[in-house]
Structure formats: C-alpha cells, structure tokens
C-alpha cells in the first residue's frame, strides 16, 4: 500500500520535475539555439540538394529531410541524453536524488519526459518547417502517419536506454562529448541518412546495418516518401519488419545495459567522489568556480 503511494508520488514528482526542466530548457537561449541549429542545418542541406533520388522521381530533398529527422531522434538519445546524465552526475543532482526518498525513479521519469518532448518537438519542427520552406515531405494518409508514429517510438526506445547506459559510464562532460560525437557523425554519413545508402561500398552498408540509425532513417523514409521511392533502397523495399526487428533488438540491449549501469552509477555516487571530481575539474581549469 505504502509502496503504491510511493510510486504514485515518484511519478508526480517526476512529471513536475520534467515540466520544470522543459521550461528551463525553453528559456535557455544557448541550449535552444543548439537544437534549432540542427534543424536549420538540416533545412539548408535539404534546400541545397536539387536532383531526384537516382532511379526515382522523388526529390533528394525528401530523402535528406527524412534522414535528418531520423538523425535528430538518434542525436537526442545518444548525444543529448548522455551529456545531460554526465553533467548532472558531476554536479551532484544524481546524488541529491539518491539521498531523497523516491528521488531516482522521479529522476528517470523526468528525463524520459524531457527526452521524448525534445525529440518529438524537434522532429515536428523539422517536418513542418521542411514542408513550409523547402517543399519537404509529409506523411500521406493514415498508414503513413501510423508508420511515422511507430518508427519514432521504436527508434526512441532503441536509442534512449542506450544513451542512458552510455551516460552512466562516460567519465565527465568534457570528454564525453568527444567520445560520442565522432562515432555518431560517422553513422550519420554511412547510414544512408543524407544520401542513398546504395552509394556506399557494400561492406560499409553491412556495418551501418548493425546500428539503429540506418533502420530509423529507412523507416521514416517509408512513412514520408512515396511508395515508388523504395526502388532506391538497398533491398528494393522498405523492409519494415526488419526495421521493427532491429530497433526492438536495440531497445532490449539498451534496457539490459541501462538498468544495471544506471543503478551502479547511482550507487557509486557519494560526497567524497563528488568533491574529488570537482577538485580534478578545478585543477584542469574546466569548471567555473
């Protein structure tokens, strides 16, 4: 009984927390401009390409926008989320919530809310702005909308727990960015998000096919591009069952990694570890006093 009360309370505190954090994000010019820049860059690249997707009558703009849409989801889960986690671990937010009854569940609820709103918000912004400014693609009919919804959901499920696991093990915010940025950019270029994957050497295609980004992009193309465009896909079809399978597999792997790693990260927090990190950061001059 008290257990259920605790859980309800954690949910309430978590939702309140997520709401406040969202408000802070919206008011933070620097961070907001970072997210908006991503959208602007995507729109500029989309407006710059002119040809059709080879072998189809679909404009490249559409392929690029669908690819960037997938990349934005990917980035929220695997770059933004780990960075937030590492920073908050370092500042002591995680420790304070660990010392608070029901704090850690509330923290997770808040982070999920933040990440989902951030991801869906940037995705919507990109698609709407793309449609208005660059004649970009939008889903046609309920089937396409449904595909958009499940690919987005599964895509987030594939990358968010994984990002949480990464955030739990990365050393500190300064090194964290460098460590995750490079592989992510590599995947952006090799996953067929910004130009047809068939332009890549076959071994590269095989490697990219292991990671979720290729499948997220492919799934979103199936939702956003006309059905005729599937001839440009590597398999000649959208392979939606495969999209679902790979993304589900990553979601499971992510959860299996994230739960113990987050638990370990929270358990390891203590006052002296926090001070030690601050001292180290101050020595390297990276932390404002």
Binding region for another protein (CB under 8 A): 2, 6, 9, 12-13, 16-17, 20, 24, 28, 88, 91-93, 95-96, 98-103, 106, 171, 268-278, 280
Q: Between 100 and 228, name the residue whose CB sits nearer to another protein.
A: 100
Q: Between 24 and 263, name the residue whose CB sits nearer to another protein.
A: 24
Distance CA 269, CA 98 (A): 8
Q: Between 13 and 60, name the residue whose CB sits nearer to another protein.
A: 13
- Closest distance of CB 136 from another protein, Å: 34
Q: Between 43 and 265, name the residue whose CB sits nearer to another protein.
A: 265
- Closest distance of CB 272 from another protein, Å: 5
Distance CA 271, CA 233 (A): 53
- Closest distance of CB 229 from another protein, Å: 44
Q: Between 7 and 206, name the residue whose CB sits nearer to another protein.
A: 7
Q: Between 206 and 273, name the residue whose CB sits nearer to another protein.
A: 273
- Closest distance of CB 119 from another protein, Å: 20
What radius of gyration, in Å, describes the C-alpha atoms of the chain? 20
DSSP code, position 196: -
* Residue labelled with tokens 């050393």: 171
- Closest distance of CB 266 from another protein, Å: 10
Q: Between 5 and 133, name the residue whose CB sits nearer to another protein.
A: 5
- Closest distance of CB 103 from another protein, Å: 6
Phi (first) and psi of residue 136, to 5 degrees:
-75, 175
Helix residue spans in the chain (DSSP H): 2-27, 29-48, 60-75, 81-91, 93-98, 103-133, 141-169, 173-190, 202-208, 212-224, 240-268, 271-283
Residues β-bridged to residue 119:
none
- Give the largest Cα separation in the chain, rounded: 63
- Closest distance of CB 97 from another protein, Å: 9
Distance CA 274, CA 200 (A): 46
The residues near 168 (Cβ < 8 Å, ≥ 6 apart) are 85, 258, 261, 262, 264, 265
């Amino acid at each position: 009984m008290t257990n259920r009360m605790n859980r309800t309370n954690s949910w309430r505190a978590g939702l309140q927390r997520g709401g406040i954090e969202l408000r802070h994000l919206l008011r933070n010019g620097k961070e907001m401009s970072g997210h908006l820049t991503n959208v602007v860059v995507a729109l500029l690249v989309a407006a710059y390409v002119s040809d059709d997707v080879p072998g189809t009558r679909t404009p490249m703009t559409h392929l690029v926008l669908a690819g960037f849409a997938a990349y934005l989801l990917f980035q929220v889960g695997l770059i933004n989320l780990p960075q937030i986690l590492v920073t908050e671990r370092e500042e002591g937010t995680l420790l304070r919530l660990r010392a608070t009854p029901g704090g850690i569940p509330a923290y997770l609820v808040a982070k999920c809310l933040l990440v989902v709103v951030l991801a869906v918000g940037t995705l919507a912004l990109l698609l709407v702005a793309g449609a208005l400014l660059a004649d970009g693609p939008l889903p046609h009919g309920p089937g396409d909308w449904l595909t958009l919804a499940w690919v987005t959901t599964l895509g987030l499920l594939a990358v968010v727990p994984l990002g949480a696991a990464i955030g739990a093990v990365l050393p500190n915010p300064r090194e964290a960015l460098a460590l995750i940025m490079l592989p992510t950019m590599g995947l952006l270029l090799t996953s067929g998000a910004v130009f047809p994957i068939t332009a890549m050497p076959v071994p590269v295609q095989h490697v990219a096919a292991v990671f979720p980004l290729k499948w997220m992009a492919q799934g979103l193309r199936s939702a956003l591009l006309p059905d005729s465009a599937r001839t440009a896909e590597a398999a000649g079809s959208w392979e939606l069952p495969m999209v679902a399978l790979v993304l589900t597999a990553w979601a499971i792997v992510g959860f299996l990694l994230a739960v113990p790693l987050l638990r370990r990260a929270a358990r390891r927090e203590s006052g002296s570890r926090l001070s030690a990190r601050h001292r180290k950061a101050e020595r390297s001059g990276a932390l404002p006093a």
